[in-house]
A and B are shown apart, each in its own frame.
Chain A
């Protein structure tokens, strides 16, 4: 298996979401490791703006040809925007998981919840434990 890219500028969950906080908004996507496991993403069921999220509860769904995966909210808050470009090109999640493949943004989150997330080094160590 290829070695997944893990970016230092954001935090991660055990369910392989990343979150990057920029001012009032927290941008969310799935990690390179997750997109590789999923294989070709064919559809993203985007959350509606205004949807209330709870940390580590399902926020939306990502589909590949052979699987369906929940995307869990890394932080509690409200969906402020979803990446509508994914409606036309879901493959961005595979091609650029940390950039064009972002899925939604959260506002009104509680900063203290970031304590429940992993930084890049911790996440790297975490996925190393998953390999069989």
Chain B
């Protein structure tokens, strides 16, 4: 039997040691008609070889692009081999939460280093050991903002990732918070600051603005944060493209109180949306309001440097119904992978971020010259929205094994012919030219037939 090593003799000896005749005797507390004795309606177990064939067969039904211009919250970036290699070391992946510090110093130190990376990238003061993902971390941040301010209303920009807004709404409904959406400016692509200003009353717990936003546009976080603070609300910046932290002004410098987002860009494959990790960082004064695990530095009995889970009295296993979050799992394995990725790139993270920006800008200009115009005017990081695109283009690109981008109509009816296009370092010049060729082919098709 796979993964159950007992021989018949082992079982007999164990039953004898317990003093019973059959395993089912151990289930005597289970009402007898509840104990399943019949066969399950399941196939017989597969060998590993058959399993591989079967799962590979299912996997093959996914279409795989050779070049993907899809972003919108999850991004294709290059992953150095040693990052994958170290990140899958079994001492990391088969361990559990480091509750026993003496034999978990490695994982504890890795989380401590991860925390340091996140704090330096965001320009804030403290962070936890990671969250499930960006969307649920943002949901948790709604509760955190309400907890900090003792207020019940959340303002969120409509230019925040649509699924993040859905998750926020679910969390707010659960807790009885009210969430209100603020429109974006159709010309700049940024949140409508005037509309935000008029909704921003002294009832608002926090403003939630994504930057770069779902359209790739960079927001004026400093101005928005200052507006929030004037009304006693906290300023929350959502970040789904973590690579942008390599070049853009960090949240802390823009007076943001809490930065929350998705860390997938740091060395983690897209994998259908997970597993990866969410990050959540804040200014010093809110450290005890952070949900989740936190690692701190201390000493052992001999005075030697050591790490340990700390500030645990915030957490559910101690605070129980008084805890502001029920979270216990974090995403250590992927936080460690991100750490190794960040250690590898180091200061060159800035160069990679710049390259993403320059390449996407160059491609945007190429498209624009040929008539596929950008919708918004304000600067973007590595993705942008173009107008005048139809399904035929995506179909043609698909035939070339190119994923051409994300149509936005589903989420924003007013952007009905718009496409969100993302360019990372994975896109080559050749890919861009192919894309352009297909676009021109469609554009000029009516001319040819005429």
In the complex they form, whether A and B have CB atoms below 8 Å apart is answered with yes
Point out the residues of chain B lying under 8 angstroms from A42, CB to CB: 313
Q: Which residue of A lies closest to B322 (CB)?
A: A68
Could you tell me the distance between the alpha carbons of A45 and B285 in the complex, rounded to whole angstroms? 12
Indicate if the CB atoms of B318 and A43 lie closer than 8 Å: no
Could you tell me the distance between the alpha carbons of A68 and B323 in the complex, rounded to whole angstroms? 10
**B288 at interface by CB-CB < 8 Å:** yes
Point out the residues of chain B lying under 8 angstroms from A68, CB to CB: 313, 318-319, 322
**A89 at interface by CB-CB < 8 Å:** no
**A66 at interface by CB-CB < 8 Å:** yes
**A115 at interface by CB-CB < 8 Å:** no
How many chain A residues have a CB neighbour from B under 8 Å?
A: 10
Shortest distance from the beta carbon of B314 to any chain A beta carbon, whole Å = 8
Shortest distance from the beta carbon of B284 to any chain A beta carbon, whole Å = 13
**A5 at interface by CB-CB < 8 Å:** no
Indicate if the CB atoms of A66 and B288 lie closer than 8 Å: no
**A65 at interface by CB-CB < 8 Å:** yes
Point out the residues of chain A lying under 8 angstroms from B311, CB to CB: 43
Indicate if the CB atoms of B288 and A65 lie closer than 8 Å: no
Point out the residues of chain A lying under 8 angstroms from B109, CB to CB: none
Could you tell me the distance between the alpha carbons of A66 and B320 in the complex, rounded to whole angstroms? 12
**A63 at interface by CB-CB < 8 Å:** yes
**A64 at interface by CB-CB < 8 Å:** yes
Could you tell me the distance between the alpha carbons of A45 and B288 in the complex, rounded to whole angstroms? 10
In the complex, chain A residues 29-79 whose Cβ is within 8 Å of any chain B Cβ: 42-43, 45, 61, 63-68
**B312 at interface by CB-CB < 8 Å:** yes
Shortest distance from the beta carbon of A40 to any chain B beta carbon, whole Å = 11
Shortest distance from the beta carbon of B391 to any chain A beta carbon, whole Å = 56
Indicate if the CB atoms of A43 and B312 lie closer than 8 Å: no
Shortest distance from the beta carbon of B306 to any chain A beta carbon, whole Å = 15
In the complex, chain A residues 78-117 whose Cβ is within 8 Å of any chain B Cβ: none
Shortest distance from the beta carbon of A78 to any chain B beta carbon, whole Å = 17
Contact code string B293-337 (vs A, CB < 8 Å = 1, else 0): 000000000000000000111000011001000000000000000
In the complex, which of the residues B288, B311, B313 has the most CB atoms of chain A within 10 Å of its own CB atom?
A: B313
Could you tell me the distance between the alpha carbons of A67 and B313 in the complex, rounded to whole angstroms? 6
Point out the residues of chain B lying under 8 angstroms from A67, CB to CB: 313, 318
Point out the residues of chain B lying under 8 angstroms from A61, CB to CB: 322
Shortest distance from the beta carbon of B98 to any chain A beta carbon, whole Å = 15
Point out the residues of chain A lying under 8 angstroms from B288, CB to CB: 43, 45
Shortest distance from the beta carbon of B324 to any chain A beta carbon, whole Å = 12
Q: Which residue of A lies closest to B315 (CB)?
A: A68
Point out the residues of chain B lying under 8 angstroms from A45, CB to CB: 288
Q: Which residue of B lies closest to A64 (CB)?
A: B313
Could you tell me the distance between the alpha carbons of A43 and B311 in the complex, rounded to whole angstroms? 9
Could you tell me the distance between the alpha carbons of A60 and B366 in the complex, rounded to whole angstroms? 62
Could you tell me the distance between the alpha carbons of A127 and B396 in the complex, rounded to whole angstroms? 81
Contact code string B98-139 (vs A, CB < 8 Å = 1, else 0): 000000000000000000000000000000000000000000
* A-binding residues in B (CB < 8 A): 288, 311-313, 318-319, 322
Cβ contacts A to B, 18 pairs, < 8 Å: A42-B313, A43-B288, A43-B313, A45-B288, A61-B322, A63-B313, A64-B313, A65-B312, A65-B313, A66-B312, A66-B313, A66-B318, A67-B313, A67-B318, A68-B313, A68-B318, A68-B319, A68-B322
* B-binding residues in A (CB < 8 A): 42-43, 45, 61, 63-68
**Ranked 3 nearest A-B pairs via Cβ:** A63-B313, A68-B313, A68-B319
